Amino acid sequence: MNQPKRLLVVDDEESIRNTLHDLLVAMGYEVETASDGFEALAKLQLDIDLVLTDAQMPGMDGFELIERIREGKSLQELPVIMVTGRTSRDDRIHAVRSGANDFIAKPIDLTEMRVRTDSLLGMKEIHDTLKRHERELEETVKRRTEALKKALDDVVVSQRNLREAHLETILRLVHATEYKDVGTAEHIRRMSYFCALLAEKAGLPPKDIEVLLHASPMHDIGKIGIPVEILNKPGKLTDEEWEIMKTHTTIGARILRNSSSEMLCAGEVIALTHHEKWDGTGYPHGIAGEDIHIYGRICSIADAFDALTSERSYKPAFSNEESLNLLQEGRKTHFDPHLVEIFAENMDEVENIQKKFKDEGRN
CATH number at residue 52: 3.40.50.2300
Let me know if residue 72 belongs to a domain: yes
Q: Count the domains in the chain.
A: 2
Global pTM reads 0.55
Let me know if residue 55 belongs to a domain: yes
Q: How far apart are CA 80 and CA 57, in angstroms?
A: 16
Q: What percent of the chain has a predicted confidence (pLDDT) above 70?
A: 83
Parallel, antiparallel or unpaired: strands 30-34 and 6-10: parallel
Does residue 195 share a domain with residue 48? no
pLDDT band at 157 (very low <50, low <70, confident <90, very high): low
Does residue 93 share a domain with residue 55? yes
Which CATH number do you get for residue 340?
1.10.3210.10
Let me know if residue 157 belongs to a domain: no
Q: Which domain holds residue 194?
A: 163-356
Let me know if residue 232 belongs to a domain: yes
Catalytic one of 131, 142, 150, 223:
223
Per-residue model confidence as pLDDT tens digits over 158-206? 456 455 545 666 666 666 566 555 555 678 889 899 999 999 999 999 9
Does residue 127 share a domain with residue 178? no
Does residue 229 share a domain with residue 92? no
Does residue 21 share a domain with residue 94? yes
Query: Is 223 noted as a catalytic residue in this protein?
Result: yes
Does residue 270 share a domain with residue 196? yes
Spell out the alpha helix ranges (H) of the chain: 14-26, 37-43, 62-71, 89-98, 110-127, 129-133, 138-177, 185-201, 206-215, 228-231, 239-246, 248-256, 262-273, 294-308, 320-329, 337-345, 347-356
**Residue 294, pLDDT score:** 97
Per-residue model confidence as pLDDT tens digits over 21-66? 999 999 999 999 999 999 999 999 888 999 999 988 888 888 899 9
Let me know if residue 21 belongs to a domain: yes
pLDDT band at 361 (very low <50, low <70, confident <90, very high): very low
**Residue 363, pLDDT score:** 45
Does residue 305 share a domain with residue 201? yes
Task: Report whether 38 contacts 156 (CB < 8 A).
Answer: yes
Does residue 323 share a domain with residue 261? yes
The DSSP bridge partners found for residue 9 are: 33, 52
